[in-house]
Structure 1
Amino acid sequence: MYAFDVIGEITFSKRFGFLETGQDINDMMHHTANFMTYTGTIGQVPNLDWYFRIKNPILHVLRPTSNILSFTLKQIQEHEKSPEKNSRDLLSRFIEARQKYPDIVDDDLLHDYTNTNVAGGSDTTAIMLRTLVFNITTRKQVLDKVVAEISTVMKARPKDTDPDTPITWAEGLSMTYYQACLKEAMRYHPPTAQILPRVVPQGGVELCGVYLPAGTNVGCNAWTVHRDKQLYGEDADEFRPERWLEVSSEQAKKMEALLFTFGAGKRACVGKNIALLEMTKFVPEFFRRFEVRVVDAGRYRITSSWLAVQSGLDVYLTLRDPAALVAEV
């Protein structure tokens, strides 16, 4: 819900309202999850997608749809009706691109931009947030270090700072151990469960001693890359943030450079910095506001299709006084 509302604010200058209502507004999360499952299956045989959507109108009704489209169409209409009221959100920039490059950006592409923005920036970030919360909460040593680091940041604030002031981006970045947790979460549980394919260009290419002809689809699975023991250590199958702090700066840069969480190269995720911003601010603030205890770690499950989505992250929350962390000795 948090991830959806944030991407709504960035894209449309308007939150969906998940957090205020505590509800799945218009079943958007439900339909997005179904579409990701559909993509993970039918996406392996793209011709079937064409068949379901275009060739056979009867089968078309079986294809998952999303109420996000209705919401985005409404926002586009409102932006176009009163452009002077719009802030410099992403939708405003998409509309400007359509006006500036009409031969490239048409109405359909504008719709794709906004829908992809919401779908791509919600579930993926939510997966990372769950990974962080679960793995920090279920490891007392990790949790204690994160809370101690939050306390240190709080104590470093000017004395007249309102204790209710949220943790800032700069403060989140200064938390060395938490940033190691963040990198470890991206390594340990990348949201994308399948390969990110590329097409071999004309002339073919030789990879690892194997010749691949032009037109071949080739890719890497982030889960496999991130469990490389030569790169990340013999305990690469374990969640251990300390691995990022124990190595030399050169090795740490190499380990981070080969993280495939957001893809790589020219097609790396354009929302990477937004996701990092959300994770850097939200999780420390979450543990600052609440004492968190997992109800039953055995309920935690991962289901893989296009994304590796978790379920069963049920927790007990006890409200924490933000000022208490400053007072702790």
Structure 2
Amino acid sequence: MDAYGVQDAKLEYKTISAVEAINSASSIGVFLGILPLWLRPIVSRFFAAKMKARSSLGSMAATAVAKRLVSSAFRQDLLSKLLEGRDEQDRPLGKKELSAESLSLLVAGSDTTANSTGAITYFLAQNPNVQAKLQEALDQVLGPPGGDSENGDTAPYSKIKNIEYLQDVINEGLRLHSTVGIGLPRVVPEGGITVLGKTFASGTVISCPLYALHRLPSVWGNDAELFNPDRWSKGDRATMLKAFAPFSIGPRACLGRNLANMELLIFIATIFHRYDFVLGTSGQKFMMALSESHLGSPSE
């Protein structure tokens, strides 16, 4: 028996579609997140398949942890870092804590970056002029495509981190397609607060939907619905950044913001330095495609 109370266990496995489970679990998770606590158990009964996907996703994380705990092989990854973690009494994380943290890294630390990359790729394929401008900016720093022997398989972060247009493209993609479009709730502290002349008492739960915030014409202009990275260099960047919150803000903001931004910079720079992207179906709307699989029917 080891420090986690794990003996020579025999694990049974079944195949789960990871992508399907993440997509289903994420959509119902966001939906339930905006409901009052008392209403969530009632509503969840109408989405049996999606609730099963949430359970499957949790099982995937727990299985990965259980498999690692009984393995003698060493692998350097995020889970190995969690296994090295200790609390104030020098105790390791328990199995349930490890599973919970692994699930957070699976969804918040992987799927979010992946779907943001997909959205930005779509916007660039939909706007060939923007794509060409980005590729020109990348060529100036990385050299012509095909001569990547100096850069290796991926665009070096040290070379691309200061390409302003690359960051503008990513910010514009995150503005139009934030991973979480709802307003993340915050509780008003003691003493209350006043916002734009409206006073909120302490204990009040308030939020501002990011979908609406990122489309305010007063901030982003009359073309707020359009993908236009040039707005970041031609407009009031300071004002726009105040209204730009894809990772939320404050002490409860996304802990992995810097890592996610670094990953997006490397992903987008690497693939668009090498390849041209076009839409398979001309004129297809990205948000319309998303709406078809957002929640589905209650029987799903």
Question: Of 165, 180, 187, which aligns to 1:177?
Answer: 165
Question: What is the CA–CA distance in structure 2 between the aligned matches of 1:215 and 1:104, rounded to whole Å?
Answer: 35
Does residue 283 (structure 1) correspond to residue 268 (structure 2)? The answer is yes
Give the superposition deviation at 1:179.
Answer: 1.6
Letter in 1 for 2:37: P
- Compared CA separation, residues 62 and 122, structure 1 to 2 (3 A): closer
Partner of 2:139: 151
Would the alpha carbon gap of residues 76 and 98 (structure 1) be closer, same or farther in structure 2, given more than 3 Å must change? farther
Q: Structure 1 residues 74-83 or 229-238, which shifts more?
A: 74-83
Q: Does 1:49 align with 2:34?
A: no
1:101-157, Cα deviation, whole Å (9 max, x unpaired)? 589964433321110111112332223212211111221221111121222223289
Supply the AA of the counterpart residue of 1:70.
S
Q: In 2, distance between residues paired with 1:243 and 1:62?
A: 39
Of the structure 1 ranges 126-135 and 77-86, higher mean CA displacement relative to structure 2 is found in 77-86
Shift of 1:269: 0.7
- Show CA shifts across 1:154-188 (max 9, x none): 3289x994476421112222332222111111222
- Relative distance call for 1:143 and 1:105 in structure 2 (3 A) is same
SS at match of 1:239: coil
**Bigger mean CA deviation after superposition, 208-217 or 44-53:** 44-53
On the 8 A contact 2:122/2:286 being kept in 1, the answer is: no
CA contact (8 A) 1:173 1:280 kept: yes
Please say if 1:265 is aligned against 2:254: no
Q: Is the Cα contact below 8 Å between 2:124 and 2:277 reproduced in 1?
A: no
Mapped to 1, the partners of 2:132 and 2:101 lie a distance apart of: 41
> Are 2:20 and 1:30 equivalent residues in the alignment?
yes
- Higher RCO (CA 8 Å, separation ≥ 6 residues): 2
TM-score (norm 1): 0.71
Contact 2:25 2:50 in 1 (8 A): no
RMSD of Structure 2 on Structure 1 (CA): 3.5
Shift of 1:42: 2.6
CA distance in 2, matches of 1:301, 1:160: 32
Separation of aligned partners in 1, 2:29 and 2:237? 34
For 1:256, the equivalent position in structure 2 comes to: 241
Q: Give deviations 1:232-268, integer Å, cap 9, x for gaps.
A: 3333222111111224xxx424422431100001011
Secondary structure at 1:267 match in 2? coil
Change (3 A) 1:224 1:266: same
Q: Which residue of the partner structure matches residue 9 of structure 1?
A: none
Partners of 2:81 and 2:95 in 1: CA distance:
14
CA gap of 1:85–1:99, structure 2 versus 1, over 3 A, is farther
The answer on 1:232 being equivalent to 2:188 is no
One-letter code of the match for 2:164?
T
Asked if structure 1 preserves the Cα contact closer than 8 Å seen for 2:65 and 2:95, the reply is no
Shift of 1:95: 3.2
Q: CA shift at 1:303, angstroms?
A: 6.4
Counterpart-to-counterpart distance in 2, 1:133 and 1:290 = 11
Count of residues in Structure 1 that have an aligned counterpart in Structure 2: 276
Aligned to 1:69: 58
Gap runs ≥5 in structure 2:
1-14, 294-300
Alignment of 1:1-329 (within 5 A): 26-43=16-33, 44-50=35-41, 63-64=51-52, 65-81=54-70, 85-87=74-76, 89-97=77-85, 100=88, 106-155=94-143, 161-162=149-150, 165-247=153-235, 251-302=236-287
In structure 2, C-alpha distance between the alignment counterparts of 1:61 and 1:28, rounded to whole Å:
14
The residue type equivalent to 1:233 in the other structure is G
Between 1:277-286 and 1:159-168, the stretch displaced more is 159-168
Contact 1:52 1:63 in 2 (8 A): no
- Residues 60 and 223 of structure 1: CA distance in aligned 2, closer, same or farther (over 3 Å): closer
Q: Which has the higher helix share?
A: 1
In structure 2, distance between residues paired with 1:160 and 1:192: 35
Quote the sequence identity (%): 23
CA shift digits 1:186-235 (9 cap, x unpaired): 22221212110011233333222222223321011112222223333333
